[in-house]
Amino acid sequence: MAKSIRRPSRPAKSTAAKRTENVAANPRRKKVAKSARAKAPKAAHKVPKPWTEAEVTEAFRRFRAANPEPKGELEHLNPYTLLVAVVLSAQATDAGVNKATRSLFAVADTPSKMLALGEDKVRDYIKTIGLYRNKAKNVIALSEKLIAEFGGEVPRTRAEIESLPGAGRKTANVVLNMAFGEHTMAVDTHVFRVGNRTGMAPGKTPLEVELNLERVIPSEFMLHAHHWLILHGRYTCLARKPRCEVCIINDLCRWPEKTV
């Protein structure tokens, strides 16, 4: 009968020895392990202290002192042309829109004149603006709807404005604020950046920033708050290189990377 031979049990390997062995078997492993460590999330940033009511008031006092009557930069002649200009401004600069609308509005400053001009001509006038084919369609469709449902006038409620082709929440906020003096807050890319960077009204979406700004800004500043914040973002708190050294709210700003 064959004798059974008991093999000596292997000594247990240390964790370090196992790691060395794994890496030897697959040299890519070390690299992967290293890069995984590099990509591991860093410790969460310290959440900045929320602004106090007095600080928000102080910031807007300074904006008002520097520019008591801020103006929007989209050229328009009446609520209708403002509405059209805002619809055309999606993913385009105000300067680019103004260049096209100057001659368009000279011949069509009402919904009926725009319909008389027709989609092909409207398209020609605005062809320097991005997405112009679709925008020309929307301008004609919204003009038709204004005539059919609103007596040719721009309606005064958010729901009605948002029901127009090409018009969303931001369009409604701009029109309600600039044409009808309502305390709305339109959040574009500049306002979104300023609200988040300064820590005044942080939010992951434009709607969150809008609601936070409306919550913290005192009513006495709300009529112009939208323009002050846009202008601040456009000329001072620039996306790539904010001009913190000349910023009039740099002592209040919570951005950890501010350069003052």
Using CB under 6 A, list all residues that contact ligand SF4: 197-198, 236-237, 242-244, 247, 249-250, 253, 255, 258
**Catalytic residue positions?**
170, 188
Name the token pair of 172.
Answer: 């409604």
**In angstroms, what is the minimal distance from the CB of 215 to ligand SF4?**
19
Least gap, CB of 121 to ligand SF4 (angstroms): 43
Q: Give min distance, CB of 133 to ligand SF4, in A.
A: 37
- CB closer to ligand SF4 out of 121 and 258: 258
CA terminus-to-terminus distance, the chain: 90
Whichever of 66 and 106 has its CB closer to ligand SF4, that residue is 66
